[in-house]
C-alpha cells in the first residue's frame, strides 16, 4: 500500500478475541525505513515486540495527525517481551537511539527525551546517555537497570543544575494498591542506587507532628 504522496506501507495483521498479532509492518519513504512487529495476548497481558530500522517524525505525521510522541527520529534494532503482570520476567535485547521523544507518565508527569542511546542484553538495560527535560527540570542520565528475580536493580547517575529527587521517588515507588483489606500497599520493585550530582537538589523532609518541608541543597552531591 502506498499513501497519497506518502510512504509505502506493507502489513500482515491478525485480530482474534485472544490476541492482536501484527506479524510484520513496514514503512518506507525518503526519511524512514522501518520494520515493526507486535503480539499482545490479552489474558496473560504479555507483549512481544520488535523494531528495526529508522522512523522519522515527518513519516509518522502522515499516519498520526496528532503525533506528539515523536518530534525527531528513532533508529536501531530492538526486541522485547514485556510481561505487565510480572514485570521482572520481561526481557529486552538490542540497541536504540532516539531524538526528541515525548513520554507520558501519569504518576510523575510527562518527560521529553532530547537524545538517548540505549543497549540491552536479555536482563540488563544500559542507558549510555539520555538528555531529559522533566517538566522543565533538565538533566543528563546514564547507567544500568538489571532485571533480577526479586527486583529491578538500578545503578544510575543523574547530572544537572537542579534535580528534583521527589519526582524520581514518585516514578520508582510502588503502585500503592492493596489486593485485600489486610495487605499493605505493594512496595517498589526498584532497588539500587541513584547518584545525583547537581548544583541544587530539591527534596521533601517529613518531620513528625509538622508539615512536610521542602528543602533545597546547594552544590550537593547525593
Tally of residues, the chain: 222
179's CB contacts (< 8 A; 6+ apart) are: none
Instruction: Render the burial of 89-125: b for 16+ CB within 10 Å, e for the rest.
Output: ebebbbebbbbebeeeeeebeebebbebebbbeebeb
pLDDT for 132 equals 93
Confidence of residue 1 (pLDDT cuts 50, 70, 90): low
Would the pLDDT of 27 be above 50?
Answer: yes
CB 80 within 8 Å of CB 91: yes
Residues 39-77: pLDDT tens digits?
999 999 999 999 999 999 999 998 888 888 899 999 999
Q: What is the mean pLDDT of residues 115-127?
A: 94
Quote the percentage of the chain above a pLDDT of 70. Answer: 78
**Grid cell listed for 55:** 522512523
Global pTM value: 0.78
Q: What is the mean pLDDT of residues 164-188?
A: 57
CB 18 within 8 Å of CB 41: yes
88's CB contacts (< 8 A; 6+ apart) are: 147, 148, 149, 150, 151, 152, 189
Would the pLDDT of 215 be above 90?
Answer: no
Quote the percentage of the chain above a pLDDT of 90. Answer: 49
Would the pLDDT of 140 be above 90?
Answer: yes
**Grid cell listed for 178:** 492493596
**Mean residue pLDDT across the chain:** 82
Handedness of CA 68, 196, 126, 47 (dihedral sign): negative
Amino acid at each position: 500500500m502506498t499513501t497519497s504522496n506518502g510512504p509505502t506501507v506493507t502489513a500482515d495483521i491478525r485480530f482474534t478475541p485472544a490476541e492482536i498479532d501484527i506479524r510484520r509492518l513496514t514503512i518506507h519513504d525518503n526519511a524512514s525505513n522501518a520494520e515493526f512487529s507486535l503480539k499482545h495476548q490479552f489474558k496473560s497481558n504479555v507483549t512481544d515486540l520488535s523494531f528495526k530500522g529508522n522512523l522519522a517524525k515527518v513519516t509518522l505525521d502522515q499516519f498520526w495527525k496528532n503525533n506528539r510522541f515523536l518530534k525527531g527520529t528513532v533508529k536501531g534494532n530492538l526486541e522485547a517481551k514485556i510481561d505487565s503482570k510480572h514485570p521482572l520476567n520481561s526481557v529486552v535485547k538490542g540497541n536504540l537511539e532516539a531524538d526528541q521523544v515525548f513520554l507520558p507518565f501519569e504518576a510523575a508527569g510527562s518527560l521529553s527525551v532530547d537524545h538517548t542511546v540505549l543497549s540491552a542484553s536479555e536482563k540488563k538495560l544500559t542507558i549510555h546517555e539520555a538528555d531529559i527535560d522533566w517538566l522543565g527540570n533538565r538533566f543528563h542520565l546514564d547507567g544500568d537497570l538489571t532485571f533480577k528475580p526479586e527486583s529491578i536493580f538500578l545503578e544510575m547517575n543523574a547530572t544537572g543544575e537542579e534535580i528534583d529527587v521527589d519526582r524520581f521517588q514518585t516514578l520508582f515507588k510502588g503502585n500503592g494498591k492493596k489486593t485485600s483489606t489486610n495487605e499493605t500497599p505493594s512496595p517498589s520493585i526498584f532497588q539500587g542506587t541513584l547518584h545525583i550530582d547537581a548544583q541544587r537538589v530539591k527534596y521533601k523532609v517529613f518531620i513528625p507532628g509538622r508539615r512536610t518541608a521542602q528543602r533545597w541543597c546547594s552544590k550537593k552531591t547525593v
